[in-house]
Structure 1
Amino acid sequence: MFGKNEAQAFLADAFAPWVQALDLTVDEIDPEGRAVVSMPITADIARMGGIVCGQSLATLADTAMVLSTAAHFGAPRDVATTNLDTQFLSAGRGARIRCTARITRAGRSLIFAQADLVALPDGKPVASASATFFVPEKAPR
């Protein structure tokens, strides 16, 4: 089963160092293809006025949606982001950003996912994202 611990290990082992520098925490994973991932708001990702930069929000959303594909499959699989659309709704301020990602449709070669990002502790929506992932065929063994 692909749970929180496996997802956190996958994040540490398979993602680029600049993604790992965001200090992401896997808060929840479920087999329906839902992943909840949070990120602390630090000086490294905050702009003027303590507002979280859009690049880190888009990275959080994409990463959470990749983890949701692993939850859907029950294990990490190679996927490639073919489309990522992010809408920034309001300034992200607070202590953390929480991203809830879910699979909206899964086909044989394409997976569609959605993510909602909120600022904590107030729960104010800061961004929404959708992505399409290509799933290459498994290589024969």
Structure 2
Amino acid sequence: MTSSLKMTREEMITFLQQEFPQYVGEVCEVEDQYSLLRLPINDSHLRPGGTVSGPTLMALADVALYVAILSKIGPVALAVTTDFTIHFLNKPRADRAIMAKASLLKLGKRLVIGEVNLYSEGEAESVAHVVATYSIPPR
């Protein structure tokens, strides 16, 4: 089976460091069907009550989907989020990294719709589910 990837994991990391240095998470995998990012959790990610904050989960999910999209369309820095819906499902573990697995539902010429499953590393249960849309600038 041939891959339709336009960017490898290494190319993606270099691109993010150059074009989007404030990105969160470690790019673990860039595959044909998904991208996988990992975010080690520390005290700066926690909200009162000792749980991982919503903004932390949202940022990781957004970057994971950005990686999944760029892996298919190439290095288009100006691809932007136009819609983002997150459902918080379970309390994330504060003592484990958060994993974000992103996949594409529809890859159009101007819009891309994808989803992200977030979970605590080593756990099967999702902590959040995201569906988001990105706008791709005309070439």
Give me the TM-score of the superposition, normalised by structure 1: 0.86
Say yes or no: does 1:137 pair with 2:138.
Answer: yes
**In the aligned structure 2, how far is the partner of 1:27 from the partner of 1:135?**
24
Corresponding residue number in structure 1 for 2:30: 29
Residues 47-74 of structure 1: CA deviation (Å, up to 9, x unaligned) = 234310000101111111011111112x
**In the aligned structure 2, how far is the partner of 1:50 from the partner of 1:41?**
11
**In the aligned structure 2, how far is the partner of 1:55 from the partner of 1:98?**
15
Q: Provide the secondary structure at the position in 2 that maps to 1:132.
A: strand
Identity of aligned residues (%): 26
Q: Structure 1: 5+ residue runs without aligned partners?
A: none
Q: Provide the secondary structure at the position in 2 that maps to 1:98.
A: strand
Corresponding residue number in structure 1 for 2:123: 122
Q: CA RMSD in A?
A: 1.5
Say yes or no: does 1:3 pair with 2:8.
Answer: yes
Q: Structure 2: 5+ residue runs without aligned partners?
A: 1-5
Corresponding residue number in structure 1 for 2:45: 45
Per-residue deviation, 1:117? 0.3
Number of residue pairs aligned between Structure 1 and Structure 2: 132
Per-residue deviation, 1:26? 0.6
The one-letter code matched in structure 2 to 1:106 is L
The one-letter code matched in structure 1 to 2:100 is C
